[in-house]
Amino acid sequence: MVDDLHALPTGIGTPILAACNAKEDLLDLLALARTHPDRAVIWARLSRFYERCGRSGLPELERLATTVSVWWPEILASIHTGITNAGSEGANRVIKTVARDAYGLCNPVSQRLHTRCATTRRGRGCLDPA
């Protein structure tokens, strides 16, 4: 893939490669979750991510680096504890989808029931009640 991107015109291939490398650096940093990493390892991967975003000159990567900087305390807590809010985010996504699907229902109680059924494990078929 790298060779293919280098074969493209510089204005096209270079930004794509920079974005791909920054993404991989961020994934390397997040992969440290639940591994009890040393602070030096965390700092090295974070620094590599920031440096790559800064060198790219791409406003999108600079915004990404700013977002990571703003959320760094939460990201660091997730790396150390391995706890995320993925479950609540998933439930919120299901609730919004069901609410959109049930938009035509005139009865708010029925809409609430549809949402509750969609967000319980039994309602999604994940658990066998027997």
Ordered by start, the domain boundaries in the chain are 2-81, 86-124
Q: Average pLDDT for residues 10-21, to the nearest whole number?
A: 80
Cα–Cα distance, 28 to 68 (Å, whole number): 14
Angstrom distance (rounded) from CA 72 to CA 17: 25
Q: Does position 53 have pLDDT exceeding 70, yes or no?
A: yes
Identify the residue with better confidence: 125 or 25.
25
What's the token pair of residue 88? 């609540």
* Mean pLDDT on 54-81: 94
Task: Report helix, strand or coil for 12.
Answer: helix
Whether residue 45 contacts residue 29, with contact meaning beta carbons closer than 8 Å, is answered with yes
CA dist 99 and 73 (Å) reads 33
Instruction: Tell me the pLDDT band of 27, cut-offs 50, 70 and 90.
Output: very high
DSSP secondary structure code for residue 127 in this structure? S
pLDDT for res 83 = 85
- Mapping DSSP onto H, E and C, the string for 69-98 reads HHCHHHHHHHHHHCCCCHHHHHHHHHHHHH
Whether the CB-CB separation of 10 and 52 falls below 8 Å is answered with no
